[in-house]
Amino acid sequence: MERAEQVAHETEPWATDSHSLKGWKSNQSVLDRLVAETGGELLTASVHVPDERGVGLLGTVEVMMVGHASDGWLADDEVSYQVCVRFDVRRETSGPREITPAPIDCPPGVPATRAPQ
């Protein structure tokens, strides 16, 4: 989850404010960037407000990321596990886009752990 929070924090300045419309990207491109930055696998994505000047919940994207944890003293004991996260992209009446990550249950059929790459 720390990685998801880092991705949200790093993407937010890039997606900051589209009010000037000078080079700022669409809400869809913000969702695409979140998936790319996580290095994860897209589960679902939905743009709720296509208007770049829109307010409220602009879009959501769910991503399956890979986390790593150590089971013991040796690096060989490291376990890779699935982390599923939803990113909400919203904007208040005036202001920049805000990106909030929240853990979600992974879909059925997604194994809890994965083999080393």
CA distances to 19, 62, 78, 96 from 32, rounded to whole Å, are 20, 11, 30, 18
Instruction: Round to whole Å and give the CA distance between 50 and 27.
Output: 6
| Mean pLDDT, residues 54-75 | 81
Identify the CA nearest to 97 among candidates 61, 54, 33, 63.
54
Instruction: Round to whole Å and give the CA distance between 98 and 57.
Output: 10
pLDDT at residue 18, rounded to an integer: 52
pLDDT exceeds 90 at position 3: no
pLDDT tens readout for residues 79-116: 778 889 999 999 888 778 889 999 999 888 776 666 55
pLDDT tens readout for residues 23-58: 457 888 889 989 999 998 999 999 999 887 789 999
SS3 112: coil
